[in-house]
Amino acid sequence: MMKKEISIYFILFAIASLTGGVLFGILGAFQFIIPSFFNGIPFIENRPLHVSLVIAWIFMSSVGGIYYYVSKYCNVSIYSLKLVKVHLWVFIIIGLLVVGSYLSGKFGGREYWEFPPVFAIPIILSWIMFGYNFFRTVFGKKDPWPVYIWMWGTGIFFFLFTYMESNLWVFPYFRDNLVRDLTVQWKAGGSLVGSWNMLIYGTAIFLMDRIKNDHTISTSTLAFVMYFLGLINLIFNWAHHIYIVPNALWIRYIAYGISMTELIILGKIIWNWKKNLTKSRQDFHLLAVRFIVASDVWILLNLVLAISLSIPAVNIFTHGTHLTVAHAMGSTIGINTMILIASCLFMIPDITGKQFSKGQALSISIGFWIMNIVLLFFWLALIFAGILKGYLVIQDKLTFQEIMLQVRPYLAVVAVTGTIIFGGILMVFLPALKMIRQYIFAR
């Protein structure tokens, strides 16, 4: 198995994880509006299966890309291929154990990581190996690091740090104090997202650098300014998750102020979008470029929503509603998944030495448009559901059952559009899987 380029196996299992994660998400969406829809796998198991598999997609596709891009395009050799292989096997084995634990009804963890906490030990060890291998590799690079190497290194370090932090609840000092427990848990959750964003956005900058063959993209002053702004948000922006926790007011003020710095990113995106629109159209025939351009649109849309949700007066209405889910789905599907699909579509032909046929490229193009157009309706349905739910809770003070009856039509739209998005994903990945299969089994 390992005689081929190892990153292709990361991508293969990443695609399998995304496919499974979306399937469980669709099943859970229909169960949420029709409780008797399917009782073979109850909703309480579907939800963590959906979340964990989608997170596995994010990490496996990011890590596979980082291993490949560093070794091929950064003029260095991977320090230890053996550690890469061990990392892959840990991903696969722990992933299977996590899925098995959910299906058997064995939980015990917290948000994002609802599996038994004992699985955290091999996960932490695998990321220590990853970090050691990565830094030993890039420290061999004599010329200055482009920004994406800094972003990858930052994402690796902060994921390891915040993942260990998210497991502090196992100690009574944290678990036995509600305010302390909530603060640390939500802080870790917010920073965890920032850490994997570093991995993904670093990948996006790398792809733009390689596709346009313009190294100023990854070495410019602006690129590093944006990196440090993202780093500040990673470290401090988590606090907007804990407005409702009785903490010191200065924490909330800092969180609000830092979250508003995202306006700088928003303004820059709008400016660059207008300036580079013609150039983007010229490159739109490249499959990877399409998904990067789409992610740029979703960054714009989701930043408007995220900044709105960070305003304390708005946060009172929206916290815990489907508006939060809309923000999460817009980020996960519209931004992260679009960038990671672009990475897969760049990497697979690069590894296999073959290009997609006209029929395969057409399938990917149709899947691209289905995903993005239908995702807009999916996202808007969640926003309207969240606005209605927040209003009914605060103003009309209805019971949960009464509220859900009124929100139900919007959630039905979410379930149906989610199913169509899954069809678009299949149209994108079936040609990619065929190319991977041919590569792996070729003599």
CA–CA separation, 166 vs 286, rounded Å?
Answer: 40
Q: Are residues 247 and 149 in the same domain?
A: yes
* Measured distance between the N- and C-terminal CA atoms of the chain, rounded to whole angstroms: 12
Residue 185 makes CB contacts below 8 A (sequence gap 6+) with 110, 111, 166, 169
pLDDT interval class at 112 (50, 70, 90) = confident
pLDDT interval class at 438 (50, 70, 90) = very high
DSSP H helices, 168-286, are: 172-175, 178-212, 216-219, 221-236, 249-260, 262-282
What's the mean pLDDT in 111-117?
87
At 288-336, the pLDDT tens digits run: 888 988 988 888 888 888 878 777 777 777 777 888 888 889 888 999 9
The tokens of 314 are what? 């708005």
Lowest mean per-residue pLDDT among 144-158, 253-267, 321-335 = 253-267
At 345-358, the pLDDT tens digits run: 999 999 999 999 99
Whether pLDDT at 246 is above 90: no
pLDDT interval class at 10 (50, 70, 90) = very high
**Final residue in a domain of this structure, among 117, 142, 167:** 142
CA–CA separation, 428 vs 313, rounded Å?
Answer: 41
pLDDT interval class at 216 (50, 70, 90) = confident
Q: Are residues 274 and 374 in the same domain?
A: yes
Q: Residue 352 belongs to a domain with what CATH number? A: 1.20.210.10
Q: Are residues 224 and 349 in the same domain?
A: no
Q: What is the predicted pLDDT for the residue at 283?
A: 60
Q: Are residues 158 and 81 in the same domain?
A: no
CA–CA separation, 167 vs 165, rounded Å?
Answer: 5
Q: Are residues 283 and 410 in the same domain?
A: yes
Give the range of the structural domain holding residue 363, as residue numbers without chain letter.
267-443
Q: What is the predicted pLDDT for the residue at 282?
A: 58
Residue 118 makes CB contacts below 8 A (sequence gap 6+) with none
The top-scoring range by mean pLDDT among 5-9, 176-180, 191-195, 303-307 is 5-9
CA–CA separation, 245 vs 183, rounded Å?
Answer: 7
**Final residue in a domain of this structure, among 142, 177, 209:** 142
pLDDT interval class at 276 (50, 70, 90) = low
Q: Are residues 180 and 255 in the same domain?
A: yes
Supply the mean pLDDT for the chain: 86
How many domains are contained in the chain? 3
CA–CA separation, 348 vs 346, rounded Å?
Answer: 6
**Final residue in a domain of this structure, among 260, 277, 304:** 260
pLDDT interval class at 388 (50, 70, 90) = confident
Whether pLDDT at 44 is above 70: yes
pTM of the model: 0.91
